[in-house]
Structure 1
Amino acid sequence: MSIKSGGELDRRITLQRASTVLNAFNEEISTWQDLARVWARKRDASDSQKIELLAAGQVGSFRVSRFTVRSSILTRSITPVDRILHDGVVWQINGVKELDEGRHRFIEITASRDADNG
């Protein structure tokens, strides 16, 4: 499904990356750092796409969606070790690809979350 206009990017998501910071005791702790808030289009994946994730080792009850964002230096750097925060729910990134439509203007991020949370 192609994007015909930027108006279809109607969801606000936060892209996050794992980082290490020092706590009050000067100990390193792992945390998530916000990289950017961007506009996105969200589309739920079909059941056949969910079956592909099950075959790849995803277990339990989960939801899969595809988030389409504008291509930028930052969005092109997103990998499956990063994550998405959308409407207070954490989405684990399963894959990232550049879309061929419109001179590579968009990035599609496939992500999953626990269906029981959110």
Structure 2
Amino acid sequence: MAAPRAGELTRIVRFDRAILVDDGLAMVERWAAHGPPQRATRTDLSDGERWRAAEIGASVTTRFVLRRTAFTADLTPKDRLSCDGLSFAISGIRELAADPRFLELTCSARTDR
């Protein structure tokens, strides 16, 4: 994949990170905003539907490319990405082969919720 030009970074993505919060009975994980919004490109790779245990589920796999910064280099698959009203689980993060100034995130989201 070629490195995007500045005008191609048209999507705004936000990140969430799980933090431990005391709910009065125990420490539980809650999602909280993490860092500033970032500009990215979005390419949908595949979508699908599946039937399992009487449930119909639809999902989309998407690749996001964004600039590598100190903040984005610290992201992990434990974080979550939000874009266009969907919440994506991050399954992979790698340096863009064509240009190490960019990171490529492979993500998936349920589209039936």
In 1, Cα distance between equivalents of 2:59 and 2:78: 18
Q: Give the aligned partner of residue 70 of structure 2.
A: 73
Judged with a 3 Å threshold, the aligned counterparts in structure 2 of structure 1 residues 4 and 67 are, in CA distance, closer, same or farther, namely closer
Distance 1:31 1:80 in 2: 16
Identify the residue that residue 88 of structure 2 maps to in structure 1. Answer: 91
Runs (5+) with no aligned partner, structure 2 = 49-56
- Report deviation, 1:4: 4.1
Name the residue aligned to 1:41: 41
> Which residue type is aligned with residue 111 of structure 1?
C
1:112 equivalent to 2:108? Answer: yes
- Within-5 A mapping of 1:2-81: 2-23=2-23, 25=24, 27-36=26-35, 37-46=37-46, 60-81=57-78
Could you tell me which runs of 5 or more consecutive residues in structure 1 were left unpaired when the two chains were aligned. 51-59
One-letter amino acid matched to 1:35: H
Amino acid at match of 2:11: R
Q: Which of the pair is proportionally richer in helix?
A: 1
CA distance in 2, matches of 1:76, 1:17: 14
Structure 1 vs Structure 2: percent identity of aligned residues?
33
Runs of 4+ aligned residues of structure 1 deviating over 2 Å after TM superposition are 25-29
Query: For this pair of structures, how many residues does the alignment match?
Result: 105
**What TM-score do you get using the length of structure 2 for normalisation?**
0.79
Change (3 A) 1:69 1:4: closer
